[in-house]
Amino acid sequence: MEASIIPISNDQLAFTVVLVLITGGISSFLKLGLLRSLVWGTVRTFLQLTVMGYALTYIFRINNFWLVLLIIAIMSLIASRTAVKRTPNVPGYPAVMAFASLLASTFLVGSIVTVLIISPEPWYSARIVIPIFGMILGNSMNGIAISVDRLYSESRSGAPQIEAMLTFGATPWEAVRSCVREALRAGMTPTINSLMVVGLVSLPGMMTGQILGGADPREAVRYQIVVMLMIAAAVAIGCLIMVGLSYKRLFTPDGALQQFVLESKKG
């Protein structure tokens, strides 16, 4: 088996713009209104990944613990802000809660994987920690955005039932428990679906990248199993923390539903 990376030249990289032209052509033909976003997204992809490539080369070389910690914190902050933008139906969505949820789930699961499972030397090796934590953040970000959005939508649609339970003496948690359950299920379902079809329908990015880089497919599979399971755990923990912190915002200090929920119900 050939175990070397096939380099991509600048000309070959530039040729990938053809793929963007195909996508843009489809958008224009069907008048989807996505052409501007597609072009801007492509430019940002080239710029951001190019800068990141040079930055990671420097970070990997110095391999300083505090710098790695700072990078993870910045990544968590960016992920939390992105998650906020993906939940326009959540009024006053708190970025602080999203940041806390992502940071807690990422550090908990990421530390277990890097320290106890992969065990690099040193344990905070930037080459291992940053990609691992990045994969966790990317998937957890989507999970918490979906779960908190579902929590609010379920609460709005079920406002009459929630009010009835509160009237009969239920606590806010008891009244909204079914909404919390649906929110967690919604946030975790995409990840669970991925677990069901990985290897049969899809070959995930990390596994594909290792194989293209010349790694033994059997070793790449081992890493991918670790990645899939760590993502599932991180998404579950992140959604649980986020929904647990968020459901109280549906109620006033005296235990009644917030006005925005009632207005949504009446509208």
3-state per-residue secondary structure call for 21-35: HHHHHHHHHCCCCCH
Is residue 3 scored above 70 in pLDDT? no
What integer is the mean pLDDT of 143-165? 88
Percent of the chain with pLDDT over 70: 92
Q: Look over the chain and give the mean of its residue pLDDT values, rounded to a whole number.
A: 85
pTM of this structure: 0.82
- pLDDT of residue 194 exceeding 90, the answer is no
Residues 96 and 14 both lie in one domain: no
Confidence of residue 96 (pLDDT cuts 50, 70, 90): confident
What span, in angstroms and rounded, lies between the C-alpha atoms of 84 and 98?
8
Q: Examine the domain organization and report whether 99 and 75 are in the same domain.
A: yes
Q: What is the pLDDT of residue 26?
A: 87
* Joined tokens for residue 105: 């789930």
pLDDT value of residue 202: 65
Question: Rg (Cα) of the chain, in Å, rounded?
Answer: 22
pLDDT band at 197 (very low <50, low <70, confident <90, very high): confident
Whether 134 maps to a domain, the answer reads: yes
Structure tokens at 189: 């379902």
Residue-wise burial string across 251-261, b where 16 or more C-beta atoms lie within 10 A, e elsewhere: beeeeebeebb
> Is residue 266 very low, low, confident or very high in pLDDT (cuts 50, 70, 90)?
very low
Same domain, 167 and 123: yes
The reply to whether 45 and 118 lie within a common domain is no
CA dihedral (27, 33, 39, 44) positive or negative: negative
Q: Answer yes or no: is pLDDT of 187 > 80.
A: yes
Grade residue 241 by pLDDT with cuts at 50, 70 and 90: very high
* Residue listed under structure tokens 């428990």: 177
The torsion defined by the Cα of 194, 195, 196 and 202, in degrees rounded to 10, comes to 50
Q: Could you count the other beta carbons within 10 Å of the beta carbon of residue 12?
A: 10
In a domain, 1, yes or no: no
- Asked if residue 17 lies in contact with residue 39, where contact means CB atoms within 8 angstroms, the answer is no
Same domain as 242, residue 171: yes
* Mean pLDDT, residues 80-87 taken together: 80
Same domain, 208 and 239: yes
Q: Give how many domains the chain has, as a whole number.
A: 2
Indicate whether 213 belongs to any domain. yes
Tens of pLDDT, residue by residue over 21-55, are 898 888 888 888 888 888 898 899 889 889 988 98
User: How much is the pLDDT for 214?
Assistant: 73
Can you give the residue range of the structural domain that contains 40? Answer: 7-62
Q: Are 114 and 128 in contact (CB under 8 A)?
A: yes
Same domain, 31 and 101: no
pLDDT-derived band at 264, boundaries 50, 70, 90:
low
